[in-house]
């Protein structure tokens, strides 16, 4: 799989963080990506697949992007998708894929309905579990790509309060 130059740049920036504050995982076996897509009859965005080919999810000072089949933590993309679509009072629509929790019950999600002439868009939306969405009032688009999301929510927000070693500013 050819790596998107933006993903490579994002991982270069993330690699500046001390191993004390960031956790990378081994790359995911590509067969797990196909398994998720087939089991859920849904396609994952290319940027996310490329992220998984470098690290099966990541954690920066408690902020998390889910990987697939996380053996150490039982809550991964498979479990989050299943739970948020089938086990809650107000389930997410099938086309949303929750990939990053906000720590308050909401999720940043891929909206797989958004399609362009280049394939599925990488736009990120925010799903608030306590809000009742309608056909007119949809989840808010927060970022134009996964790289934009990681740059702002992981790198910039962390560096506002901490340095690359996790020391408070």
Model confidence pLDDT, tens digit, residues 64-122: 999 987 666 667 998 999 999 999 888 898 889 999 999 888 999 998 876 555 555 67
Q: Residue 22 has which token pair?
A: 């960031």
Query: Tokens at residue 15, please?
Result: 């690699």
Q: What percent of the chain has pLDDT over 90?
A: 55
Task: Enter the DSSP assignment of 1.
Answer: -
Q: Please tell me the distance from the alpha carbon of residue 149 to that of residue 142, in angstroms, as a whole number.
A: 8
**Share in percent of the chain as helix, strand, coil (round to 5):** 35, 20, 45
Tokens 């859920």 locate to 40
Which tops the pLDDT comparison, 98 or 134? 98
């Amino acid at each position: 799989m050819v790596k998107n130059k933006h993903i490579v740049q994002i991982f270069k920036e993330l690699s500046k963080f001390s191993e004390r504050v960031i956790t990378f995982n081994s790359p995911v076996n590509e067969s797990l990506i196909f398994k998720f897509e087939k089991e859920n009859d849904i396609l994952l965005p290319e940027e996310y697949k490329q992220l998984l080919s470098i690290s099966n999810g990541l954690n920066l000072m408690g902020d998390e992007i889910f990987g697939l089949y996380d053996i150490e933590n039982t809550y991964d993309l498979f479990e989050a998708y299943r739970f948020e679509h089938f086990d809650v009072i107000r389930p997410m629509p099938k086309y949303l894929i929750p990939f990053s929790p906000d720590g308050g019950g909401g999720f940043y999600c891929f909206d797989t309905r958004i399609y362009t002439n280049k394939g599925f868009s990488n736009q990120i939306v925010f799903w608030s579990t306590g809000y009742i969405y309608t056909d007119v009032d949809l989840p808010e688009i927060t970022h134009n790509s996964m790289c934009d999301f990681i740059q702002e929510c992981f790198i910039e927000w962390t560096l506002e309060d901490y340095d690359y070693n996790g020391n408070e500013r």
